[in-house]
Amino acid sequence: MEIQNKAMLITYADSLGKNLKDVRKVLKEDIGDAIGGVHLLPFFPSTGDRGFAPSDYTRVDSAFGDWSDVEALGEEYYLMFDFMINHISRESVMYQDFKKNHDESKYKDFFIRWEKFWAKAGENRPTQADVDLIYKRKDKAPTQEITFDDGTTENLWNTFGDEQIDIDVNSAIAKEFIKTTLEDMVKHGANLIRLDAFAYAVKKVDTNDFFVEPEIWDTLNEVREILTPLKAEILPEIHEHYSIPKKINDHGYFTYDFALPMTTLYTLYSGKTNQLAKWLKMSPMKQFTTLDTHDGIGVVDARDVLTDEEIDYASEELYKVGANVKKTYSSASYNNLDIYQINSTYYSALGNDDTAYLLSRVFQVFAPGIPQIYYVGLLAGENDIELLESSKEGRNINRHYYSVDEVKEEVKRPVVAKLLKLLSWRNNFAAFDLDGSIDVETPSDTTIKITRTDKSGENVAVLVANAADKTFTITANGEEILANLEADKQQL
């Protein structure tokens, strides 16, 4: 199945029921045609970070099912898999063989060996200035010591968690691994590969080791050369200033819209529509839009879309308006990996307010691109404080485990039922064609009018919304088809 211009669900294999069979059951029985694609968050054997420290890409974690379960989903939905291009687990064959055999290992060049990396740059490197220059996720140098079976030690590059050891993507052995893994993913049904932590993949002396140009383009082009003959697309994952995704989009790749979440919150908190309108006019069509993901709500992504003052305002309002959101949940005491993200469900960030929440999703539907809906967001889920506190993992506030029976109850809630109808309509209405056009107006400081038109000009969807009182109407070819949550309008 090829990528379709239909909303994509983001879910773990054990978050809508206990396994992949349950996910399929929930989608068929409870979600219907509101969803056309599925981003299956990492379902491989992993030693940490909820799947993002994969140890073996050749297998499905047996707790979730097997490849036949993945392939069954692929027969009904277009699929996206994660490839952690920057790192792999310490329990991987590569790491274990290297640890055992050291320089006799076939994987001796698979990882970035810290001392060897700097030795090529000259004596007495790295200096403190070198380390300070690195775009880091830690306060210290991004290293981890490995003790070989022969008793010697070295340091390996380690950007993220202790289990996630960085790969040298420029080594021949790593290139072979990347090619084999990507081909296998497509064989099992992947139409789209998400390159996790892509901007960190290339390291180079005298740079900040984040989106290193021009070398990063070589890596991306190599991946494209593998996937293009297989008719699979790439979605590089980068949380940073929107100018970086724009560069990638200009090269013809799909990108993420990570600026929309905070911009939408600002719009609904302030009641002002000017910045949302500005961003929608700037946004490309070949993108996947988000309001929520398995991570937190990105702050840095909205820089220069919103002013620094507006970002500060939105961040502070989130803690005031949001339900059960505390600053400490996004701090080191709750194992927060990214100081530029706020841990909360999107529904709770809007105060568990059905009216404001539905309007946020309406904005997402009318934005350029294909909507991605995180499973908690699809069910308008509240912050899971119990899971957060039991795990002391900040991001778990937005990672509730739904049972199959629980989903059946959640879809009966008016806000969820209306969201599902909204998505079903959007998936099947031609005005949202990616070859079409968008026109954005702000009749007043608090209102916005968004018009989506297909390439032929025959199908037109119009949203008129007031961000201050959270009212809206949607018309399709002149017929009103959806309005405020309280209004009993024509069914889709």
Residue 112: C-alpha distances to residues 87, 125, 204 (Å): 10, 15, 11
| Three-state SS at 83 | strand
Contacts 24+ apart (CB under 8 A), 480-488: 481/425, 482/362, 482/418, 482/421, 482/422, 482/425, 484/355, 484/358, 485/354, 485/355, 485/358, 485/414, 485/415, 485/418, 486/355
Token digits of residue 2: 């090829």
What are the φ/ψ torsions at residue 98 (nearest 5 degrees)?
-65, -45
| Three-state SS at 146 | strand
Between the two ends of the chain, the Cα-to-Cα distance in Å is 26
Please give the full DSSP string across 18-73, using - where no structure is assigned.
SSHHHHHHHIIIIIGGG-SEEEE---S-BSSGGGTSBS-TTS--TTT--HHHHHHH
Catalytic residues: 196, 237
As a whole number of angstroms, the distance between CA 118 and CA 130 comes to: 10
Residue 445 half-sphere exposure, CB side, CA atoms within 13 Å?
3
As a whole number of angstroms, the distance between CA 416 and CA 422 comes to: 10
* Range list of H helices, 322-403: 346-349, 354-366, 375-378, 385-391
Match 């009966």 to its residue by tokens. 412
Contacts of 119 (CB under 8 A, 6+ apart): 125
